[in-house]
Amino acid sequence: MRTGIVTAKANFAINTATEKPMSRKPRKTATQASSLQLGHQVGLPASPEEAKLDRVPNPHRGTNYLVRFAAPEFTSLCPITGQPDFAHLVLDYVPGDWLVESKALKLFLGSFRNHGAFHEDCTVAIAKRLVREIKPKWLRIGGYWYPRGGIPIDVFWQTGRLPKDVWVPDQGVAPYRGRG
C-alpha cells in the first residue's frame, strides 16, 4: 500500500485511496492567523503615527504585577536642526486586560528614528499612546536623554497612582555626571 507523498514544489499530496492529487494548503499557525506583527517580517514604520501597537490578552488579569521595558538606544531627531538625539527610555506599567506585544513596541520606538520632536514630546507621546492602546492600571516612563549642547534632559510622566500591592524597583539609570 502506498503512503501519502508530499511534494514541496507542487504543494500537493496523493490521496492513497484514489491515487489522485489532493490540494494541500499549509496550515496557519496561531500567529499567522492573527493580525499581530509577531511572526511576520515587518518593516520599520515611517513614523510613529503609522506604527501599529499590537496588544495581547493579559493571562493574569486578576493579579497586579509590573512589566518593565528598557530601550537604552532610543533615537529621534531634533525638530529644528535635524541632528540625532539619543535616550535611554525605561517604561514601567501594571497591565489591565492587555499587554503590549514587545515586537510591536520595538517597531513603534524605532519609528521615532526619523521623527523630529523635542525630548519632552517624544517621551510623553510614547506613554500616552501606550495608555490609549493597552489601558494599563498604571504606567510610568522615564526618558533619560543624552546631552546635546552640554545639557541632559530627563523627562518623567506617569498615570495616576500605583496600585498598593505592586513593587516598583528603581529605574536603574544613573544621573548624568559629565566628566566626573
Q: What is the pLDDT of residues 145-160, one digit of tens each?
A: 999 888 889 999 999 9
Low-confidence winner among 23-27, 48-52, 62-66, 152-156 (lowest mean pLDDT): 23-27
Q: What residue spans define the domains of the chain?
A: 1-34, 47-158
Residue 145's CB is within 10 A of a number of other CB atoms, namely: 23
The helix/strand/coil state of 145 is strand
For position 19, what pLDDT does the model report? Answer: 55
| Among 54, 85, 92, 122, the one annotated catalytic | 85
What's the pLDDT tens digit per position in 54-110?
999 999 999 999 999 999 999 999 999 999 999 999 999 999 999 999 999 999 999
Contact between residue 128 and residue 93 where contact means Cβ atoms under 8 Å apart:
no
Q: Fold for 47-158, please state it.
A: GTP Cyclohydrolase I, domain 2 (3.30.1130)
Q: Is the pLDDT of residue 32 over 90?
A: no
What is the C-alpha to C-alpha distance for residues 158 and 178, in angstroms, rounded to an integer?
27
Write a three-state SS string for 91-122.
Answer: EEEECCCEEECHHHHHHHHHHHHHCECCHHHH
Q: Is 56 helix (H, G, I), strand (E, B) or coil?
A: strand
DSSP 81: T
The three cell numbers of residue 135 are 489601558
Q: What's the rounded Cα separation, in Å, for the pair 87 and 180?
A: 20
**What nine digits make up the cell of 99?**
499587554
Check if 122 is active-site. no
Catalytic (active site) residue 78: yes
User: Considering 78, 92, 97, 165, which one is annotated as catalytic?
Assistant: 78
pLDDT band at 177 (very low <50, low <70, confident <90, very high): confident
Please give the order of strands across the beta sheet that includes 20-23: 6-7, 12-15, 20-23
- The 8-class DSSP code of residue 139 comes to E
